[in-house]
Chains A and B, each alone.
Chain A
């Protein structure tokens, strides 16, 4: 049995933990939330530091393409630590969705041209699923794309897009004529969405669209699940700290059973979410038969856990937890965004049901 971090993984976790704790502070996050246009929802200085100083931004991208190598477990570690601080970074968009799509579905030339810039943080990418408004769907033809993509995470700050169309997957550059990027006011301001409108915009097809899409989804689901794990843990940690200092009726509120039982339930769920996330990460890295089952399970379970814990965080803080000033709403909104993005928990459980053959006839 070896289901624990290796020494190297433990070191990465410790380094990432310290990095985010020191830098992804609430004031910086709030500055990023308030920004508009090209800086909406991104702490650029933090992203640059993450990509260059920490040296882990290219996680999952081979070293030959400027990445840090490593695998899904390490990617989960980074997503978890970022999620713990609701860091305003395009980690999911650029490294959790777009980069894996290019790595899995791009030609050798596309990979070596596009990936080093993403690993170094010089460029940011995002991932979009496009359709034609009310019509049959966005189609890729003659090297151009027409249609619309809604809800593109960190779309307003991205320099290029991996776009899934009905008949292929393409790369679209931010500055390409015919592309309109509209930032959307988003509930979670630390990961805001944008709308993309493509009007015969120049699009470069990826070599293997199916591999690109699969990789983006699998990695994205796992990155969201890990983000949810880190966020849920932060909700618990911060509420425990509050329970120890806040006094009512002459006692720390954390000594009331009604209060401590709810915190205990949060921990019970979080430890299960932790098992789910690392099981899924490991299963993908090992190419296990269980990998798809595991990643759907992790996305469903961890997102439910985060939603529950973030809601409890507000409730257990009382009135202060409902204010803009307190950070509780950052977690609450990220939890909601994580649950909605790339398939809600019910949808993922349906996939598990299918994989387990639950509705096959007797």
Chain B
């Protein structure tokens, strides 16, 4: 058992850090320290392209598709350095962390060659079409339909919570293609261009005042027959494989962002004297401890993953960080007091810490609510009986 990274891995860290510092001190200084997910989309698209040119966009992907063949450890290290450098949120995070890995796992050679390099070069931005108004946690209950019409799929229906659809070129959708099927059967996983007449994107304003996500309507939208991942009817399997990616490596990168957020809370507490309040100090210490524990928990899971073991402890990770961050948001407001309640100017756009308080209420919902996570832990890790369902006989 060993705590740190190897000298080779540390050399990789130094290389990544040097490149990031040069770019973010230089041509991309204007996007440094952006934390909003919707700010400066044009410049962040330029940034995606710059990352792609230099081979830093999708470091874990095979070189053949625009990646760098980085090991799991190197992927974590890059993500840490990315956040440490204050680089902006990835405009294409769905493409990089979800669409790409899923295409890599389930796509044909043609699909990989067509879609992956375009993501890695920062040319095509992706969003996801999973949830529907009637299918949130009960994801298999979706009603969006698709059927074959000559050389095309035709899509009819509605998706919701499609993050960053307003900036996206492509969307992946699970749609019902099996006539009369229900539940996880008869679903297909389709890749659909956003910029077409049959697709309408309508922003949804969220509690922060931003509109990161959208309702997306499909009204006779079309995509080429070849743009299906897996066989017709395999959609659930593909979609669940993808959720695995979402809960896996991609969440590890967040910790350095969390570090930045906690540092900001501590700085605020020192500045206004709240750090001398023992009740606040206890909570700050708790947050420090929680963050460190998450780091070593992640190292534990990654060590297992590198050697091909699947540790059920990994199932606890989403709930760990989501709850930790929600608590940090509340602590931030308790530190700021009433000063956190107002914002300069006329726009409803709060600075980092009050915004964290509002935004972190999404963490315990998206990607599977804390309640769904608890079911998963109880059933898959602890082997408890499944909750009886009302709709499946």
Q: Which residues of A contact B (CB under 8 A)?
A: 1-6, 9, 73, 236, 240, 243-244, 251-252, 254-255, 257, 260-261, 263-265, 267-268, 271-272, 274-276, 278-279, 281-283, 286, 288, 290, 293-294, 297, 300-301, 346, 349-350, 352-353, 356, 358-362
Contact = CB atoms under 8 A, between A and B. Distances in A.
7 contacts: A260-B374, A264-B373, A279-B292, A300-B289, A349-B285, A356-B266, A356-B285
Given A301-B289, A356-B288, A359-B275, 12 more contacts: A4-B300, A4-B307, A244-B384, A254-B385, A255-B388, A260-B374, A271-B313, A278-B296, A282-B1, A297-B293, A359-B276, A360-B270
> For chain A, what secondary structure do more than half of its interface residues adopt (helix, strand, loop), or is it mixed?
helix
A296 to B, nearest CB: 8
B319 A268 contact: yes
B200 interface: no
Interface string B268-295: 0111000110100110111011101110
B377 interface: yes
Contacts of A276: 289, 292-293, 296
B345 to A, nearest CB: 25
A268 B320 contact: yes
Of B286, B289, B373, most buried by chain A (CB within 10 Å of CB) is B289
B316 A271 contact: yes
Of A2, A286, A360, most buried by chain B (CB within 10 Å of CB) is A2
Contact of B303 (A3, A252, A362): A3
Contacts of B271: 362
Contacts of A279: 3, 292-293, 296
Nearest to A279: B296
A240 B3 contact: no
A9 B2 CA distance: 12
A358 B73 contact: no
Contacts of A263: 378, 382, 384
B24 interface: no
Contacts of A283: 3
A275 B297 contact: yes
B383 A240 contact: yes
Contact of B293 (A3, A301, A353): A301
Nearest to A281: B1
Given A272-B320, A288-B3, A353 B281 contact: yes
Given A272-B320, A360-B270, A294 B292 contact: yes
A281 B300 CA distance: 14
A334 B382 CA distance: 24
Nearest to B378: A260
A267 B377 contact: yes
A279 B293 CA distance: 8
A5 B374 contact: no
Contacts of A1: 5, 9, 72-73, 76, 299, 302-303, 306
A257 B375 contact: yes
Contacts of B31: none
A312 B385 CA distance: 19
A3 B285 contact: no
Contacts of A254: 378, 384-385
Contacts of B110: none
Contacts of B266: 356, 358
Given A73-B1, A349-B282, A240 B267 contact: no
A3 B313 CA distance: 14
Contacts of B179: none
Interface in B363-393: 371, 373-375, 377-379, 381-388
A219 B133 CA distance: 55
Nearest to A76: B1
B287 to A, nearest CB: 10
A278 B297 CA distance: 10
B385 A255 contact: yes
Given A255-B388, A350-B281, A267 B382 contact: yes
Nearest to A4: B303
Closest A-B pairs by Cβ, 3 of them? A260-B378, A264-B374, A362-B270
Nearest to B289: A297
A257 B372 CA distance: 10
A268 B316 contact: yes
A130 to B, nearest CB: 29
